[in-house]
Amino acid sequence: MSRLRLEGVTRRFGGLVAVDNVSFEVPAEGVTAIIGPNGAGKTTLFNLIAGALPPSAGRILFEGADITGRPPAGIAAAGLVRTFQLVKLFEDLSVLDNVKVGCHLQGKAGLFGALLRFASAREEEAAVDVRARELLAFAGLSAFADEPAFGLPYGRQRMLELARAMAAGPRLILLDEPAAGLNTEESAALARVIRRIAEEGTSVLLIEHDMTLVMNTADRVVVVDFGRKIAEGTPTEVRANPAVIAAYLGTGKSATGAAVTASDHQETARG
């Protein structure tokens, strides 16, 4: 059984079809990426999956259960969590407390949640502390545990957001452009963390414009353009797909993320 399954999902905003009859599956194992030009409907897809928006049509199944139209808190509690395109942290709380809030907020899903259910308040607090510190170590943030979140450099804030989302041991995590604004080194560290999340059994679905990150982390790629799925396959397959190349030509960017020059356009047109 796939971890997530979209069946003919559509979302209209007035006359605009932001997501148009999209179907794909996210397997339990590994990392799946969604790529596509700006405005293609990627974030809207996440909003539909996470329950922030109801679809106009179609069905969304999480671990076989129909979650279409369920409220976001219920979906998160079932083990499907997300991060946002723009960082949202509790800026005045310490780095450690941000992760602790994640432990408490994200319901009682997964192994860690089961542990909390049987604990007294004191034991629960101790377990949350241990778990939160483990996650900080995982995200390379141990040295910043007691600092306020607002003081972290941007790349570390993104890592903290990831650690917080991982706090309750989700079954599936949605990451919206996690590498946006990161430098090469931070992006490489992020890629390693994403691979580890997948290796430890959380399926990852990520939206990303940074094709280096996609090539380094994704096992499968779904490509969307104007709300429609136009291709699906391994990173190498989709990069060579003519429909994908054509979709990116109009944007002035190639599917490799590099700027496309006029001669590139002619090369592709000829090739």
Ligand X SMILES: Nc1ncnc2c1ncn2[C@@H]1O[C@H](COP(=O)(O)OP(=O)(O)OP(=O)(O)O)[C@@H](O)[C@H]1O
Q: Which residues bind Mg ion (CB under 5 A)?
A: 42-43
DSSP 119: S
Q: What does residue 218 show for φ and ψ, rounded to 5 degrees? A: -85, 140
- Residue closer to Mg ion by CB (options 37, 107) is 37
Q: In what order do the strands lie in the sheet with 31-35?
A: 80-82, 172-176, 203-207, 31-35, 220-225, 228-233
Q: Which does 13 bind (CB under 5 to 8 A by kind): ligand X, Mg ion, none?
A: ligand X
Q: Which residue is nearest to Mg ion (CB)?
A: 43
Distance CA 175, CA 179 (A): 9
Task: Kindly state whether residue 120 participates in binding ligand X, applying the rule CB under 6 A.
Answer: no
What's the closest the beta carbon of residue 74 comes to ligand X, in angstroms?
Answer: 21
Task: Kindly state whether residue 51 participates in binding ligand X, applying the rule CB under 6 A.
Answer: no
77-116 residues near ligand X, rule: CB under 6 A: 85
> Tokens representing 118?
């049987």
- Residue closer to Mg ion by CB (options 176, 186) is 176
> Radius of gyration (Cα) for the chain, nearest Å?
19
Q: Which does 94 bind (CB under 5 to 8 A by kind): ligand X, Mg ion, none?
A: none
How many residues make up the chain in this entry?
271
List the one residue out of 84, 101, 82 whose CA is nearest residue 149: 101
What's the closest the beta carbon of residue 2 comes to ligand X, in angstroms?
Answer: 22
CA atoms within 13 A on the CB side of 223: 23
- Which helix or strand (DSSP H or E) is residue 61 part of? strand 57-62
List the one residue out of 213, 157, 144 whose CA is nearest residue 185: 213
Could you say which of 6, 18, 175, 191 contacts ligand X (CB under 6 A)?
Answer: 18
Task: Kindly state whether residue 40 participates in binding ligand X, applying the rule CB under 6 A.
Answer: yes
Distance CA 220, CA 214 (A): 9
Q: Which does 39 bind (CB under 5 to 8 A by kind): ligand X, Mg ion, none?
A: ligand X
Task: Kindly state whether residue 21 participates in binding ligand X, applying the rule CB under 6 A.
Answer: no
Interface region with ligand X, contact rule CB under 6 A, candidates 10-18, 86-94, 96-104, 186-194: 10-18
Task: Kindly state whether residue 250 participates in binding ligand X, applying the rule CB under 6 A.
Answer: no
Q: Which does 110 bind (CB under 5 to 8 A by kind): Mg ion, ligand X, none?
A: none
What's the closest the beta carbon of residue 104 comes to ligand X, in angstroms?
Answer: 29
List the one residue out of 15, 14, 45, 38 whose CA is nearest residue 229: 45
Could you say which of 21, 23, 43, 142 contacts ligand X (CB under 6 A)?
Answer: 43
Interface region with ligand X, contact rule CB under 6 A, candidates 37-45, 60-68, 103-111, 121-129: 37-45
What's the closest the beta carbon of residue 194 comes to ligand X, in angstroms?
Answer: 19
Task: Kindly state whether residue 42 participates in binding ligand X, applying the rule CB under 6 A.
Answer: yes
DSSP 260: P
Q: Which is it for strands 31-35 and 203-207: parallel, antiparallel or unpaired?
A: parallel
Task: Kindly state whether residue 44 participates in binding ligand X, applying the rule CB under 6 A.
Answer: yes
Q: Residue 64: CB partners within 8 Å, gap ≥ 6?
A: 1
Give the footprint of ligand X on this chain (CB under 6 A): 13, 16, 18, 36, 38-44, 85
